[in-house]
Structure 1
Amino acid sequence: MPRTIWSGAISFGLVTVPIHVLSATENHSIQFHQYHLEDMARIRTRKICELDGRPVPNAEIGKGYEYARDQVVAVTDEELRDLPLPTAKAIEIEAFVPLDSVDPLRIAEGYYLAPDGQVAAKPYKLLRQALERSSKVAVAKYAWSGRERLGLLRVREDAIVLHAMRWPDEIRDPAELLPAPVEVAEDEIEGALALMEMMSRDDLDGPEFRDTYTEALAKIIEAKKEHTPFPQAPEPEQPGKVMDLMAALQESVSKARASRGEDADVHEMPEPKKKKDTVKKTAEKKQPAKKTAAKKAAAKKTTPGRRPRSA
């Protein structure tokens, strides 16, 4: 059972749901520490005072805001706790919106909201069922760690989940990152759609969705611990030569079909339109004009010359 991060309530109009907050995710990555290579002693980071150069214990460390150069105001934890905000003690639901109206870029880490005691069971279930039946998500405000945040509440497997959200002004405009406008042919779009169809899955539970980096790292650590040879890494696939989009799409579709054990010729990729065909047809249409000109030239050669008048 993960530890409680925060305790409070969900405020839904005049309905109050006592809850406690727990992390909904955990990190499975292998964590490294820093060591002194000569004796493998652990390297520690100390908090040093810039003025007197001595280590400072946590009990002597507080928060402050530098409003001008070398001008700081101290802010205590008690002052932060006593901020005049309704969201300091509760997750205040502000509105209900369709999920597809929320930009995924604004959604951050997730937390489980668990009912705090039996008294919270009924209002918790009420809010959960209302969210399920409405097919909407709740947008709320709450205050954690010295700042007010925006959150999104939704239902996952009978539990209410709170997602931290970024404020609108925290999202960067991508316009400056985009390249100059380019044209994409319709057959290239159809080719990309064919590749997407071959790569489609019903869910994310397949064996390809696993952390192969952590698996390989764990094998190396185990080999070093047991003084055994390192596992052999598979030969990396060499990237092919740069080719046009249609050729790359066709080859990608063939590889996707082969990986799924399907016949590579089951579905036909759209053929790219060739300009040569248009030129050839135009040339064929002009062909009769050349024949007419040739006939006129032949007629001139076969016409007898005029007789000179007799004296």
Structure 2
Amino acid sequence: MRSIWNGAISFGLVSIPIKLVNATESHSISFRQIHLEDGGRIRYRKVCELEEKEVRSAEIGKGYEDADGTIIPITDDDLAHLPLPTAKTIEIVAFVPADRIDPLQMDAAYYLAAGGAPAAKPYTLLREALKRSNKVAIAKFALRGRERLGMLRVVEDAIAMHGLLWPDEVRAPQGLAPDTRVTVNDKELDLADALMDTLGEIDLDDLHDEYREALEEVVAAKAAGETVPEAPEPAKGGKVLDLMAALEKSVRDAKESRGEEPAEVRRLPQRKSARATPKQAGGKKSTAATAAAKKTTASAKKTAASAKKSTATKKTASKSTASKSTASRSTASKSTASAKKTTAKKATPRKRSA
């Protein structure tokens, strides 16, 4: 890898010669501007506005435009003699825990390569010190005409440096949160947690740029004179009217996409709120309520009357049964008496005459 900057790391009284190498690369597909009529390339030419003629790169320098429009020439020699200790040095100013760095400040990433054999020992010392401390180094350095802020950390056996934005370059997120006050209940949070657990973790190495791959297919098809592949129709998304239902469906879909059994999500029973019956104006009862009350009263009266008749009937039946029983006993007594008399008569002997 080609170095883009040579200098040294200043670590107290220790100086470590290093080379700065880009840690990332872009795989984006770039396009050229063309003339639609004949397909010719559209090029930008550097023209001096005073002479109205094209100039070569060797004739182009830097200049600072003042507030009144005056151009002040700045040469490379002027920049090389800036009174900065970081002109060719990455000066470490502090060591802090990694979680102290806001990811919003992260900028371009670089690798720091040891600059020759003399740098091997101090380079390794700094790397192992960062590993053991579980901290990152905050440094200042100058690159491409301005001083920058950086963060040094260990990546495998190398030291990497992330360019950092200055704190005043990060905007505050004021006015971006919803204005409406929203309450999230525990059930919704539980479903969100279940969805997060279902999606689980992923190996970042498995992720790839699908847009670039699709674009490459289009370019290859057009180059071969073939039909350009059509994009699949996007899924129609409707309005989310029920957040709970959307979360439950998301959990089920995520499990099914992983070949797992659909998640069983049960809703908690909703509490029925007891509503007080509104009172009528002036304390009067409604006509419907009055009619219902009258019907209830009439029904109660009929029920009571039926009960009384039933009771009377039972009493009459009891008296009749008792009378019949008494009469039967009386008849039985008379029959017994008559039988006794008859028996007595038969048993008395007749007197014979002399």
Structure 2: unaligned runs, 5 residues or longer = 277-292, 305-354
Residue 160 of structure 1 aligns with which residue?
159
Please list the CA deviations of residues 125-166 of structure 1 after superposition, one character each: whole Å capped at 9, or x if unmatched.
Answer: 111111111110000000011110000000111110010000
Residue 236 of structure 1 aligns with which residue?
234
Please list the CA deviations of residues 233-268 of structure 1 after superposition, one character each: whole Å capped at 9, or x if unmatched.
Answer: 333222134322111111111110011011113x53
Aligned residue type for 1:201: E
Residue 117 of structure 1 aligns with which residue?
116
| SS across alignment from 2:142 | strand
> Which residues of 2 match residues 166-185 of structure 1 at below 5 A?
166-180=165-179, 181-185=181-185
Superposition TM-score, scaled by structure 1 size: 0.85
- TM superposition outliers: structure 1 runs of 4+ over 3 Å: none
> Which residues of 2 match residues 145-156 of structure 1 at below 5 A?
145-156=144-155
Superposition TM-score, scaled by structure 2 size: 0.75
Distance 1:65 1:272 in 2: 68
Distance 2:26 2:142 in 1: 24
Q: Given the alignment of the two structures, is residue 140 of structure 1 paired with residue 142 of structure 2, yes or no?
A: no
1:176 Cα shift?
2.1
Count of aligned positions: 282
Please list the CA deviations of residues 44-68 of structure 1 after superposition, one character each: whole Å capped at 9, or x if unmatched.
Answer: 1111222332222222222222222
Q: Given the alignment of the two structures, is residue 218 of structure 1 paired with residue 216 of structure 2, yes or no?
A: yes
CA RMSD of aligned residues (A): 2.2
> Which residues of 2 match residues 28-43 of structure 1 at below 5 A?
28-43=27-42
1:246 touches 1:272 (CA, 8 Å); kept in 2? Answer: no
2:89 touches 2:141 (CA, 8 Å); kept in 1? Answer: yes
1:190 Cα shift?
1.7
Structure 1: unaligned runs, 5 residues or longer = 284-293, 304-311
Distance 1:175 1:183 in 2: 20
Q: Which moved more, 1:42-51 or 1:164-173?
A: 42-51
Residue 272 of structure 2 aligns with which residue?
278
- Taking only the aligned residue pairs, the percentage that are identical comes to 53
Which of 258, 261, 268 lines up with 2:259 in the alignment? 261
Aligned residue type for 1:268: V
Higher relative contact order (CA 8 A, sep 6+): 1
1:7 touches 1:21 (CA, 8 Å); kept in 2? Answer: yes
Bigger-Rg structure (1/2): 2
Aligned residue type for 2:170: I
The 3 A distance-change label for structure 1 pair 114 and 46 is same
Distance 2:123 2:116 in 1: 10
Please list the CA deviations of residues 29-83 of structure 1 after superposition, one character each: whole Å capped at 9, or x if unmatched.
Answer: 1111112223322211111222332222222222222222222322111111110
1:198 Cα shift?
1.1
- Richer in helix (by share): 2
